Amino acid sequence: MGRKILLVEDDRETAAYLAKGLSQEGHSVEQAVNGQDGLFRATDGTFDLVILDRMLPVLDGLSVLKALRAARIETPVLILSALASVGDRIEGLEQGSDDYLVKPFSFAELLARVNALLRRRESRLDPAEHRLTVGDLEIDPLSRTVKRGGKKLDLKPREYLLLEYFARNEGRVVTRTMLLEQVWDYHFDPGTNVIDVHVSRLRRKLEDGFDKPLLHTVRGAGYMLAA
């Protein structure tokens, strides 16, 4: 289902590349090349998502974000930035952005985050689901119990959080960085395959003794939970 996305990016090459990719995914993309123009269009409030570069001519990204939030426009904002330090990322999130992506990034990473943000907007409109189901997998967030095919699975607390995050993004790609940020709340890159090890342990617990795989590896992007 296509959505309306505002892309505020002054680098034409990046903007064209992102706009093309997002359009191919079925979204309609509007573009602005400076902060002032971006703010002007975003205040319209009809967008489902704003992708905002941090360093922009006329008005920088964080100022645009601040102005938007001050005007009580709660459209999800994804910040793009070449400022890669942990402090910069945290600053961006503290200013009210919903996600923060450091340049250079792969399109798969951006798309995964865009989908997660759009999805979050949907579920924000819906009241929270009491029970998550993916195929024959049942997750009860209240008691934190997981069953597959009626059989209870024994998960460690962190494995449960990992699975719940996957389930809330069912059918969508989740990247390693997203897992690190959302499940562990770490905003740095450990540079090892530590996340892969956790995912493969979770996969073993989910799939051992069952024929149908649930947790899929998406090459060059990350993982996806799907029946």
Partner 1 sequence: MPTTLRIALLAGLLALLSNIAVIGFIYWRTHDEALSTMRRQVVEQGKVLSDVYRLGGKAALDDAVEDTIAYGDPQTVAALLNRNGRQVMGNLGGVPVSGGGLQEGYRNALLRLRGQTTAREAALVVHRLPNGQWLVSGRTVGDGLALRETLERSLLIGLIFAGLLGLVCGLILAQYVGRRVGNIAAVANRISARDLSQRISLTGTGDAFDRLSQQINAMLDRISGLMEELRLLTDSLAHDLRTPVSRLRAAAYAATETEDPAEQEELLTRVIRQADSLMRILSAVLEIGRSEALTGRNQFTWFDARELGAKLAEMYEPLAEEAGATLRYDLPSYPLPMFGHRQLLSQAISNLIENAIRYGLAGGEIRVAVSRADGRIRIAVSDRGPGIPSELRAEARRRFGRLDSSRSDEGAGLGLALAEAIAHLHDGELLLEDNEPGLVAAVELPLRRDSAEEVPLSLR
Binding site for partner 1 (CB under 8 A): 84-87, 90-91, 102, 104, 106, 158, 184, 186-194, 197-198, 201, 220
The minimum distance between CB 100 and partner 1, in angstroms, equals 13
Cα distances (angstroms) measured from residue 103 to each of 166, 205, 219: 25, 35, 20
Distance from C-alpha of 13 to C-alpha of 182, rounded to nearest angstrom = 30
Q: Give the nearer residue to partner 1 in terms of CB position, either 89 or 168.
A: 89
Q: Nearer to partner 1 by C-beta: 115 or 177?
A: 177
Q: Which is nearer to partner 1, 143 or 192 (CB)?
A: 192
CA distance 222 to 180: 12
Distance from chain centroid for Cα 167: 13
- CB nearer to partner 1: give 11 or 30: 11
CB of 111 to partner 1, least distance (A): 16
Q: Write down the least CB distance from residue 27 to partner 1, Å.
A: 24
In DSSP terms, 145 is beta-bridged to 140
What is the nearest approach in angstroms of partner 1 to the Cβ of residue 191?
5
Residues 210/167, Cβ–Cβ less than 8 Å:
no
Q: Residue 198 is which amino acid?
A: H
